[in-house]
Amino acid sequence: MRRAVFLDRDGVLIEEIGHLHRREDVRLIPGAASAVRALSDLGFFLVVVTNQSAVANGLCSEAELGAIHEEIARQLAAGGARVDEWAYCPHHPQAVIERYRKVCECRKPAPGMLLAAKKAHGLDLTRSFLVGDKISDIEAAHRAGAHAILVETGHGAAEKGQRGSPDHVARDLPSAVEWIRSRVGQESP
């Protein structure tokens, strides 16, 4: 079975600017493209998993969200990198827009996006990793049985002292990927 790395979007892959809704505001975290490419080279299936309550609250349409993900993919491609799947949760329990108002299985810390990817692609989550900047990311990973890395970019520095126990804390995505690489290198073939 294939192993995966799940990547949170805002504050991990791209700069956190708060309710991003315009593609011209997309900025990759420095070194992100090379880091993503390195993960692919290690054989990982790559899935972006992002909570987008901005959709639930009418701040960003699903079409605008799609355009933003295309822009991130374009910037990654310019650095020779790509992710395999884009998963997002558009819901929120108190959503302004009624059709998105629900307690769902996909909004992190629920593990639904990870479990759906596992089912769709036959992933081995016990040998998989998630990189996130919030405790909700860490919890989603652990509830799915995956390893969790907290980065200090985005909300990460503020979240570090809180509850939750990531398997590792890294400065940023490139540093998280170095740690994953070292872990993989220790395994017997």
Shortest Å distance, C-beta 99 to Zn ion:
12
Query: Whose Cβ is closer to Zn ion: residue 3's or residue 108's?
Result: 108
- CA–CA gap between residue 49 and residue 10 (Å, rounded): 10
Q: Is 8 in the active site?
A: yes
Shortest Å distance, C-beta 108 to Zn ion:
9
- CA–CA gap between residue 110 and residue 26 (Å, rounded): 26
Contact flag: residue 91 with Zn ion (CB under 5 A): yes
Contact flag: residue 17 with Zn ion (CB under 5 A): no
Query: Whose Cβ is closer to Zn ion: residue 116's or residue 184's?
Result: 116
**Helix intervals (H) in 19-111:** 32-41, 53-56, 62-78
Neighbours of 174 (CB within 10 A): 18
- CA–CA gap between residue 58 and residue 102 (Å, rounded): 15
**Closest residue by Cα to residue 133 from 51, 35, 10:** 10
Fill in the per-residue mask, 92 to 121: x = in contact with Zn ion (CB under 5 A), - = not in contact: ------------x-xx--------------
Query: Whose Cβ is closer to Zn ion: residue 36's or residue 110's?
Result: 110
Question: What is the phi-psi region of residue 38: left when phi exceeds 0, alpha when psi lies from -120 to 50, beta otherwise?
Answer: alpha
Shortest Å distance, C-beta 100 to Zn ion:
8
Calculate the CA dihedral of residues 159, 163, 167, 172 and round it to 10 degrees.
Answer: 0
Number of chain residues interacting with Zn ion (CB under 5 A): 5
Shortest Å distance, C-beta 89 to Zn ion:
3
Contact flag: residue 155 with Zn ion (CB under 5 A): no
Q: Which residues are catalytic?
A: 8, 10
User: In the complex, which residues of this chain contact Zn ion (CB under 5 A)?
Assistant: 89, 91, 104, 106-107
